[in-house]
Amino acid sequence: MEDRGVAALARALQDRRLSSRELTEAALARIGREDTALNAFITVTPELALAAAAAADARLARGEGGPLTGVPIAHKDIFCTRGVATTCASRMLAGFVSPYDAAVVERLAAAGAVCLGKTNMDEFAMGSSNETSFFGPVRNPWDLERSPGGSSGGSAAAVAAGLVPAATGTDTGGSIRQPAALCGITGLKPSYGRVSRYGMIAFASSLDQAGVLAHSAEDTALLLEAMAGFDPRDSTSADMPVPRYTAELGRPLAGRRIGVPPEFFDAGLDADCGARVQEALAVLRGLGAELVEVSLPHLALSVPTYYIVAPAEASSNLARFDGVRFGHRSKAAGSIEELYKRSRQEGFGAEVRRRIMTGTYVLSAGYYDAYYLQAQKVRRLIAGDLRSAFAKVDVIAGPTTPTPAFRLGEKTGDPVQMYLNDIYTIAVNLAGVPGISVPCGFARGLPVGLQLIGPAFGEAAVLNVAHQYQCATDWHRRQPPAQPAGAAR
């Protein structure tokens, strides 16, 4: 199974060349053998998975299955899943079992996908290395001493290592695209509002978006078709039709105008990563696309803007975890005030506490106008830069990350250096537009990602360009080396 993506597995299931039960059993066995080294999963659900596989096989036998029926997947542990622990990789929610399904879980289950379990992540999605998890760091299958990226690092590592053909993730400032790049897979962050956020535990509500990690743009398109669409339970959900993304994949690139911002190729970009991206741009030109220089003059301000807006929203969203109604409750408290303090201190890790405190500060009296309001003004400028660029081009291209995967522990002592890993991805979230990362080569033996950005609700364009690039290259088919038997976390 590890050699085949969603589309190939779907065809094999439809043709009855294999069963969902066989696929599910093989995937569960592989997780059992290999996840000790990766730590990609927090919870594995074999009984639920095998029951779903049996139901999928019955549907297929009746000729009722769709393109995802019987395909094994995993969900990032930020999506509420009925009857299954949903922890956000935090002690604060350790042991919490959701009484309902998130919209993403609901829709993929209705499409017949088989959930194998919940993947590890940065605590409450706050991190760029998957090292803030209460359950320990995830390791990159290309090099177990390196980070898989975050916060959707568990999903990315599971897909890259062949534990599952696809997984869900969330992206607040690059948390799908960055781990996709560092693990050598494809990762899509859709437009804000394209996929319902109902049942997705909030970090920063104006930035969070559910998306997909898979091997190819074709696989990604199949899952997005099932996930996307209006949801009246989510007030930010866009009430507009969902295109058949798979139908647009085959469009030739002749006539496509692809913007290349010089700001993406600054001094902070690793030379080898830059060279691989330039080679990818040459492939796109060879396929008939026209490369056009466009400018994003406020790109350098995206990181400081994000780290005011996102912590402010996190401070508000995480206020509900107080030890009274939700989350971990300290047993050492002697008063209600002490209960609040101890419960939050014990339940939240250092990075989450840092962001809550930052957010509370920028929203406080006397600082709201100086910081939060100014950040929102700059956010509009960044979104305006992208709108101006898309008046000239169909898609924008550049690197996903400034470097290949870094070593675990290398940046944990310097939060600013960690935050700068998202320099090329954050603007996409601030503007609410779609972005995808696809593998485009290697730097010093580690994967490099090409990022493609589209206008709002322009997922079809970025998937088309990504698919055509993948038809001309084989980087997305490369697999990590087999890890030594018994490799430890």
Indicate which residues carry an active-site annotation: 76, 151, 175
3 state DSSP class of 335: coil
The residue type found at 79 is F
The enclosing H or E element of 183 equals helix 177-183
Helix axes 350-363, 302-317, angle to 10 degrees: 100
Q: HSE-up of 197 (CA within 13 Å, CB side)?
A: 22
Residues sharing a CB contact under 8 Å with residue 484, sequence separation 6 or more, in sequence order: none
Q: Which of the 8 DSSP states describes residue 484?
A: P
Cβ neighbours around 190 below 10 Å, total? 28
* Phi, psi at 430, each rounded to 5°: -60, -30
The residue type found at 27 is A
Residue whose entry in the numeric block shows the structure tokens 């997705």: 200
How deeply is 433 buried, as exposed, middle or buried, from its count of CB atoms within 10 A (0-12, 13-18, 19+)?
A: buried
Q: How far is CA 417 from CA 144, 378, 414, in A?
A: 21, 22, 6
Positive or negative CA dihedral for 266, 270, 271, 275? Answer: negative
Measured distance CA(386)–CA(478) in Å, rounded:
32
Report the Cα 217 to chain-centroid distance in Å.
14
Beta partners for residue 447, in sequence order: 442
Q: Are 154 and 120 in contact (CB under 8 A)?
A: yes
Q: Are 149 and 130 in contact (CB under 8 A)?
A: yes
Measured distance CA(92)–CA(96) in Å, rounded:
9
Residue whose entry in the numeric block shows the structure tokens 């009855």: 16
